Amino acid sequence: MSEYEFCTTETDGHLLTVTINRPDVMNSLHPPANFELAKVFDDFAANPDLWVAIITGAGERAFSAGNDLKFQATGGKMEIPPSGFAGLTSRYDCDKPIIAAVNGVAMGGGFEIALACDLIIASDNATFALPEPKVGLAALAGGLHRLPRQIPVKHALGMILTGRRVGAEEGKALGFVNDVVPQGELMVAARKWAEMILECSPMSIRASKQAVYAGLNEADLEKAIGGKYDAVYAMLKSEDFVEGPMAFMQKRKPDWKGR
């Protein structure tokens, strides 16, 4: 385990687990924490041996309460790294899967971090909201745009325009939560999802993620399907592209290389 000032990281094979570690302020983020997390995810994106990441929050109360309003109210300058809140909300070029394991409160920027991830696994006490309008702000770190793309617009506006809190089960019913588990089982469940991803070729996973997100930018289905995706070309030229069919033919588990 590698220790930082505002988060902890742990690697297990090809899996990286990142824990926001400011439980005394419900894991809310100020500029030093944001820049630290940006470096963590820069390193994750660049490391060929890390294929999947999980992000969660320390303690049982909160995943992240979002922007550290106390820091801002006392005159702190709210600088954000180019890759966005927690180094994730403006990170558009990472093809590796990132899972949000949401324990407790995910409010404002905390919810925006989760929405920027590819999967959301929630404990049964998780709560989601974009309450920025209640304090004269707006969810400008992606929440206003990601939420209406992930659930029906009327449901998204129902959350955005009221700032109301949505529990884990409702989040799953609305469609932005993948799985809800008891609080004590959250990390076990998140790792199970990660393990299912890790059973697949990382080259295929990156190609699939890139094609999905880039394809969503195309209104025309034919253009999306016929799009040119670098990660797809990389998959077709990879060792894994040969290994997968060979392992299937030989009735054995594939030995993925990620290249």
Of the residues 3, 60, 79, 132, only one is catalytic, namely 132
Cβ distance 121 to 193 under 8 Å? yes
Cβ distance 55 to 20 under 8 Å? yes
Of the residues 112, 170, 239, 243, only one is catalytic, namely 112
* Range list of H helices, the chain: 31-46, 69-73, 109-116, 143-150, 153-160, 168-174, 186-198, 202-216, 221-225, 230-236, 239-249
Q: Known catalytic residue: 10?
A: no
Nearest to 141 by CA among 163, 113, 160: 113
Question: DSSP per residue over 71-86, as a string?
Answer: HHHTT------TT-GG
Tokens standing for 111? Answer: 């919810």
Cβ distance 118 to 98 under 8 Å? yes
Burial of 97 (0-12, 13-18, 19+ CB in 10 A): buried
Q: State how far Cα 214 lies from the chain centre.
A: 17
Q: Known catalytic residue: 3?
A: no
**Helix 202-216 and helix 239-249: axis angle, to 10°?**
120
Catalytic site positions: 112, 132
